Amino acid sequence: MVAKPGLDGHDRGARIIARAFRDAGFEVVYTGLHQTPEEIVHAAIQEDVDMIGLSSLAGAHMYLFTRVTELLRENGADDIVVCGGGIIPEEDITKLKKEGIKEIFPPGSTLSDIVQWVEKNIQPRA
């Protein structure tokens, strides 16, 4: 699943990532713009996804990304891997990983590197 949490209205990168995943053979659910963490988690559970890819360019990543991981834990779905991308300062990447975000893909990450990382690190959930 690819999701755009919060009020960030820039979804070009998220749509490009969703297309790259689709072209690589993954089933992709794109939730669209302005999703709350609650809506993202609900959709992820409903769609039985293996991974949530969050995109943020608006600076609210610390709250939004960690809120998604909190809600997944609260709903017994913490086996869904959460990754992120966007404009995220280096010092925040370490903090996000400590909060359960599996990987962060900053600007400059190539589509092939992201797809390869997913192929290598994400296993279908039971």
Burial annotation 6-29 (CB, 10 A radius, 16+ → b, else e):
bebeebebbeebbebbeeeeeebe
Q: For 9-54, what is each residue's pLDDT tens digit? A: 888 889 999 999 999 999 999 998 999 999 999 999 999 999 999 9
Give the DSSP letter of residue 5. Answer: B
Q: For 47-70, what is each residue's pLDDT tens digit? A: 999 999 999 988 899 999 999 999
> Domain spans of the chain?
2-121
Residue 88 clears pLDDT 90, i.e. is over it: yes
Contact between residue 75 and residue 41 where contact means Cβ atoms under 8 Å apart: yes
pTM for the whole structure: 0.94
Two tokens at 65? 């990304």
Residue 126 clears pLDDT 70, i.e. is over it: no
Q: pLDDT higher for 4 or 114?
A: 114
Q: What is the pLDDT of residue 21?
A: 96
Instruction: Please give the mean pLDDT across all residues of the chain.
Output: 94
Q: What is the pLDDT of residue 120?
A: 97
The secondary structure of the chain in percent helix, strand, coil, rounded to multiples of 5, reads 45, 15, 40
Q: What is the CATH number of domain 2-121?
A: 3.40.50.280
- Integer-rounded Cα Rg, in Å, for the chain is 13
Q: What is the pLDDT of residue 83?
A: 98
Look-up of token digits 């949490």? 5
Residue 124 clears pLDDT 90, i.e. is over it: no
